[in-house]
Amino acid sequence: MFLDELTPIARELLSQPVAFLGGFASGLFRLDLSEDPVKTWLDKQAADGSSPPTQPSAPKGPQTISID
């Protein structure tokens, strides 16, 4: 029962450990991501392109299909 509640947290930690620990540390130190110096550092990291490329999202809404 208790293990079932921790499974999503462990799965996220194992899939992206740096992002998970960064978010955990920002919550622990109560850092506000919209205030300086954190905001300027995040903007600089985004401009450097150091983050991994994201996959394009699937189109949203109804789609048409053709059936032969």
Please give the chain's pLDDT, 68 residues, in tens. 677 888 888 888 888 888 788 888 888 888 777 777 777 877 887 777 655 555 566 667 788 888 87
- The DSSP line for the chain is -HHHHHHHHHHHHHH-HHHHHHHHHHHHTT--TTSTTHHHHHHHHHHHT-SPPPPPPPPPS-------
pLDDT at 52: 54
pLDDT at 30: 84
Domain boundaries, the chain: 8-48
pLDDT at 54: 56
- Round to whole Å and give the CA distance between 27 and 54: 24
Residues 6 or more apart from 39 whose CB is under 8 A from it?
33
pTM over 0.95: no
Count the neighbouring beta carbons within 10 Å of the beta carbon of residue 57: 6
